[in-house]
Amino acid sequence: MPSLKDLKNRIESVKSTRKITKAMQMVAAAKLRRAQEAAEQSRPYTERFNAVMANLASSVGGSDSAPKLLSGTGSDKVQLLVVMTSERGLCGGFNSNIAKLAKTHAAKLQAEGKEVKILTVGKKGRDQLKRDFGSLFIGHVDLTEVKRVGYADAQGIAKDILARFDGGEFDVATIFYAKFVNVVSQIPTAQQIIPASFEDAEGDEASTLFDYEPDEEAILADLLPRGVATQIFSALLENGASEQGARMSAMDNATRNAGEMIDKLTIEFNRSRQAVITNELIEIISGAEAL
């Protein structure tokens, strides 16, 4: 049974931990507001951009003049997985869920006899994938020094991926990230970015409102690289909001758990102190009766 001093020290330690988790929760809440606004403001542009690209892609179809980023290499033998996670932990299952989805996808591809290559963005994903798939790593993007993710960061990642595609290092590229829904819900998502994949755009007004000059192939050749950067930037923003939401939720749970632990330790401390006082009283009474 721990002594009174040990219990008192433990209570003070848990109180200090609770102060830290409460502070981290408040910081995450402040950052979440900005990150959520950035993610939500990017969605209309991304959706409209993809709608226009879908119409252009549907008009080009499977023609021989279609850009390589749209038509692909004609093979899916070599797959590049771009796993995007955070640089810091203490955000619940945010990083683990993304890494788990990437691991499942990689294992499935390997079972199909395909070659898998992995590019990590964020050290937490790299650390979780290193044990099982470390031999498949071909690069890592460190965003530790980046205080606020911008489009320039997405462009840098996109240029690296496009250079590898032009160099024939892979056939298909898929990004993994968490789509932000709310503070308690972030959905791990896999999205193919090369070759470009768009939802069916039938009935979209873009096909009837605009005539494209020059032709669709030339426009696609110019816009598809930007589309890769746009999708990566959107994923980074969604990840940023998801990370802060997950951290806020995790720190709130940690703060409440610390409070419950303090209550239990306080009860145990009071019981132990009462037992010590009772024993002392018994000794005093026994001594007096002996006299």
- 131 three-class SS: helix
pTM: 0.83
Per domain, the residue ranges of the chain are: 21-251
Q: CA 154, 159, 164, 165: dihedral to nearest 10 degrees?
A: 90
Q: What is the predicted pLDDT for the residue at 146?
A: 79
State the pairing for strand pair 137-141/78-84: unpaired
The whole-angstrom separation of Cα 144 and Cα 153 is 12
Question: Residue 288 above 90 pLDDT?
Answer: no
Question: Residue 89 above 70 pLDDT?
Answer: yes
The whole-angstrom separation of Cα 180 and Cα 93 is 14
Q: Has 229 been annotated as catalytic?
A: no
Side-chain half-sphere exposure of 127, counting CA atoms within 13 A: 11
Q: Can you say how many angstroms the Cα of residue 106 is from the centroid of all Cα atoms in its chain?
A: 18
87 Cβ contact partners less than 8 Å away, ≥ 6 residues apart:
122, 123, 124, 142, 143, 144
- When the candidates are 3.30.830.10, 1.10.10.10, 3.30.420.40, 3.40.1380.10, the CATH number that belongs to 21-251 is 3.40.1380.10
Q: Which of 56, 91, 158, 224 is catalytic?
A: 91
Give tens-digit pLDDT for 271-280.
888 888 888 7
Give tens-digit pLDDT for 56-86.
777 766 556 677 888 788 888 999 999 999 9
| Bridge partner list, 19 | none
Question: Residue 253 above 70 pLDDT?
Answer: yes
* Lowest mean pLDDT segment, chosen from 75-89, 141-155, 204-218, 220-234: 204-218
What percentage of the chain exceeds 90 in pLDDT? 45
Residue-averaged pLDDT of the chain = 86
